[in-house]
Structure 1
Amino acid sequence: MEDKVLRKLFLGFIQIHILHHAKEEPIYGAWMVQELQEHGYTMSSGTLYPILHAMEKDGLVTKHEKVTDGKIRKYYSATIKGIKVLEEARVKASELIKEIND
């Protein structure tokens, strides 16, 4: 039960994390999985790609393909909408952190 609740909660954190990096530069799945693992999230590409696809469908990121080392790699970048959502999330996260730390 707790695992399900935590997964739902952390999904929002993961999406914010993705938007943060996709705003800085185009990201790709394997790199993002590794980045998330460095922050304590256990995730496979089979879990990450549905999140990226949903974010793309919602207009938060855009995808383009590039051939790298003879393989097609999908890169994701934050859209204007995604950047606005990230900015709002930063404000809300700051307010929340201040409140729960007081």
Structure 2
Amino acid sequence: MAKGQRDIFAGLIRLHVLHHASREPIYGLEMLHELSRHGYRLGPGTLYPLLHGMEAQGLLRSKTICESGRTRRVYKATAAGRRALSEGHEKVRELLREMDEHE
């Protein structure tokens, strides 16, 4: 994927993360698989900094859990993250309406 496309899709990837993290706690490997299902090809070196950045922005909160003898960091959307998701959802709808008008 070209850099310009990565820049455009970065916002959509963040919306995907917020969508899933607002429903239930998520972890990185799970999100890599989910994003892959939607055609996004990211590696851990891209996703984990994105998750950490979203946490630093106050959109996600993480905690470490022990599950089946395995330690994992899970992420959940904060109230600010859920608001950003809602606003992003409306912006995507608005864009799609406008794009549909010009087909």
- Output the TM-score relative to the length of structure 1: 0.95
Q: Which residue of 2 aligns with 1:53?
A: 52
Aligned partners of 1:36, 1:21: CA distance in 2, in Å?
A: 11
Count matched residues.
Answer: 101
RMSD (Å), alpha carbons: 1.0
Moved over 4 A (4+): none
C-alpha distance in structure 2 between counterparts of 1:31 and 1:44, whole Å:
12
Once residues 8 and 66 of structure 2 are traced to their aligned partners in structure 1, the CA distance between those partners, rounded to angstroms, is 35
Counterpart CA distance in 2 for 1:70 and 1:48 is 24
- Scaled by the length of structure 2, the TM-score of the pair is 0.95
In the TM superposition, what is the alpha-carbon distance from 1:28 to its structure 2 partner?
Answer: 0.2
**What percentage of residue pairs aligned between the two structures are identical?**
44
Long gaps (5+) in structure 1: none
* 1:92 counterpart letter in structure 2: K
SS of the residue 1:51 aligns to: helix
List per-residue Cα deviations over 1:24-52 (Å, max 9, x = no partner).
00000000000000000001122100000
Query: Where in structure 2 are the equivalents of 1:1-102 lying within 5 Å?
Result: 3-102=2-101
Instruction: Give the distance between the partners of 1:25 and 1:68, measured in 2 at CA.
Output: 15
Q: What SS does the corresponding residue of 2:21 show, helix, strand or coil?
A: helix
Shift of 1:96: 0.2
Post-superposition shift, 1:69?
A: 2.7
Once residues 50 and 69 of structure 2 are traced to their aligned partners in structure 1, the CA distance between those partners, rounded to angstroms, is: 26
